[in-house]
């Protein structure tokens, strides 16, 4: 999120509520829908890093 903050533009309000800082997400209970969304966000970030030759 530090390098590509625009990835956060499309996140749901529910996931945004779980943000702590710029790249930490805290969960008190497992919410499968939000975990799937976070998984997609993580994958998108990794792909951006690969595309920029940072990985």
Given a cut of 90, whether residue 50 has pLDDT beyond it is yes
What average pLDDT does the chain have?
93
Residue 18 CB neighbours (<10 A): 16
Per-residue model confidence (pLDDT) at position 1: 84
Residues 19 and 41: beta-carbon distance below 8 Å: no
Q: 47: domain range? A: 5-51
Residues 55 and 17: beta-carbon distance below 8 Å: no
Given a cut of 90, whether residue 23 has pLDDT beyond it is no
Q: What is the count of structural domains for the chain? A: 1
């Amino acid at each position: 999120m530090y390098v590509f903050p625009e990835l956060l533009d499309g996140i749901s309000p529910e996931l945004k509520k779980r943000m702590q800082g710029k790249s930490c997400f805290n969960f008190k209970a497992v919410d499968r829908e939000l975990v799937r969304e976070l998984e997609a966000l993580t994958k998108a970030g990794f792909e951006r890093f690969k595309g920029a030759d940072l990985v």
